[in-house]
Chain A
Amino acid sequence: MPEDKIESTERIIELLKSRDIKPQHEWGWQVAVYLYLAGIGSGSLAIGIFMDWLGYIPDDLRPMILWGPILVAIGALFLVLKLGIKKRFLNTILNPWTSWLSRGFYILSACIVVGMIILIISILPYLGINTGSWSALLLALDVIGFILALATAIYTGILIQSVKYVAFWNTSFLPTLFTISALSTGTIAVMMSALAYNIVTASSGYPGQLMTSLTVIEQILIVLEAIVLVLYMFTRYRAEEYGRYSVRLLLWGNLKYIFWLGIIISGFFFPVILEGIYSRLHDQHFLLFLAGGFLLLGGFFIRYAVVYAGIKDQHPMQQLLENQRYLNALKQE
């Protein structure tokens, strides 16, 4: 057969096969929610502590933006919900040497515990307890909390990456994407809660310095996230056969609405436009909440899409036989 014919036949086979591909269902939406809540919780904790170090956060605002560990804990509950036997969830501590699910238990637990201590200490002044003399302890806790929050954000991607046989997941672009997304959704969540607190209490002035810095950080993170997403999908498309099918599943397969509407439109397009307008019209607060809502939705759909698009070859012989099938079909045509 001439070379150009072989090439075009192979392309037709690829196209035909992409129609049959279905998303994986072993790990469902609960895992996506877990990854999302752990991401947004850890991201907001890291950004909140960082902004506090810069001195942009008034003391009364601190408890309002350090709620991240609560979300991480709720996210972990979703993972427990997904288990076959939920009451055995403590067994996950048994294999930290090779299993990332097991390591995650330790990382998340530490993040939740330290984060909750930071949150509780930030509430103490409201209860009349003076924490002014605890600055060394607070700083140490903040440093540990910041490191653990970053570790949790990175871990959510590594957990998925550790399932090596799934081509779409087996890349370091995935932890990078999830970490940037965690920081991005965390940043917008911090902005929204700071603004909501400001509107509800109407006691302190508008935290302009905090909001301006966070807006800049957010815009940088969105651009970075878009670049990493493109690189991730491009490298997966070129990596292995089933990596290519996963990308197709997202671009024009069963998950196309999740990808185009959920990630591109909701996660990137609307937030960029709305935040751009908001940076010029500071009194139109609803714009920020709208942008935030879209961005948070986009953050969820990134996890959802990555989890469901993680398909794999069921059996090495399957590929060979399916190729034969389509070649036979083409010959008959």
Chain B
Amino acid sequence: MNGKVLVIDHEKCTGCRECELACSVYHTGSSNPSRSRIKVIKWEWEGLYLPMTCQNCEKPFCVEVCPTKACHVDQGKNRVVIDADKCIGCKTCILACPFGAPVFDTVERITVKCDYCDGDPQCVRFCEVEAIKYVDVSQVSNDKQYAAAEKLANLIPGAAKE
């Protein structure tokens, strides 16, 4: 997919779940993390927290299995979206997704997923440690290369300073 995406830095995430609350309040008006589109997966024994949401796959399984075309690729926005008016809440997309990204909203009785809050993701705004960023896809690979180069530089004595 082109355009902007959410990028997670699991080393920064403290597992505070503020992102879940912000997401829930923004989309549902209630501070109920179970209705959040983003989920923090926790491995307490490792001290590792990973906020997970839709990866907007190139060939999404969720779109393939959806019987109502509610779950579809929005070509204009370059992302996978669920049409709340068409969804019947069959949960097939939840089972089909490798990342467990679509979530069943027990109040609305339909499946919901991250829509990047129409370009202003609330999880990014409220993440105090900046573990979640909303950046352009092209920048993601640049950042990774930069980080790898930095690590390599640290391994060579004296090179980091230069």
A interface list, Cβ under 8 A from B: 24, 26-27, 82-85, 88-89, 91-92, 94-95, 98-102, 105, 162-166, 310, 312-318, 321, 324-325
Contact = CB atoms under 8 A, between A and B. Distances in A.
A28 B48 CA distance: 31
Contacts of B86: 88, 91, 94
A57 B12 CA distance: 73
Interface of B: 41, 43, 45-46, 48, 50, 52, 61, 63-70, 86-92, 94-100, 104, 108-111
A324 B41 CA distance: 16
Q: Most chain-A Cβ atoms within 10 A of its Cβ — which of B41, B87, B90?
A: B90
Nearest to A24: B95
B61 A165 contact: yes
A92 B104 CA distance: 18
A329 to B, nearest CB: 9
28 contacts: A24-B95, A26-B91, A26-B95, A26-B104, A27-B91, A27-B95, A83-B88, A84-B108, A85-B87, A88-B86, A88-B87, A95-B68, A95-B69, A99-B66, A99-B67, A100-B65, A101-B67, A102-B67, A102-B68, A105-B67, A162-B65, A310-B95, A312-B98, A314-B41, A315-B52, A316-B98, A324-B46, A325-B43
A161 to B, nearest CB: 11
Contacts of B99: 315
Given A91-B68, A92-B68, A314-B100, A163 B92 contact: yes
A324 B45 CA distance: 10
Contacts of B41: 314-315, 318
A246 B99 CA distance: 18
A163 B96 contact: yes
Nearest to A92: B67
A328 to B, nearest CB: 8
A317 B87 contact: no
Contacts of B92: 99, 101, 163
Given A102-B67, A105-B67, A312 B87 contact: no
Contacts of B68: 88, 91-92, 94-95, 102
Contacts of A91: 67-68, 70, 86, 88
A165 B64 CA distance: 12
Contact of B95 (A99, A102, A312, A315): A312
B4 to A, nearest CB: 22
Given A95-B66, A165-B97, A101 B45 contact: no
Contacts of B70: 91
B62 to A, nearest CB: 10
B105 to A, nearest CB: 8
A27 B89 CA distance: 11
B67 A164 contact: no
Contacts of A321: 43, 46, 48
B89 A84 contact: yes
A321 B42 CA distance: 11
A98 B95 contact: no
B61 A89 contact: no
A100 B96 CA distance: 12
Contacts of B64: 98-99
Contacts of B52: 315
A298 B135 CA distance: 54
A102 B99 CA distance: 23
- Ranked 6 nearest A-B pairs via Cβ: A84-B89, A84-B109, A101-B67, A102-B67, A91-B68, A99-B67
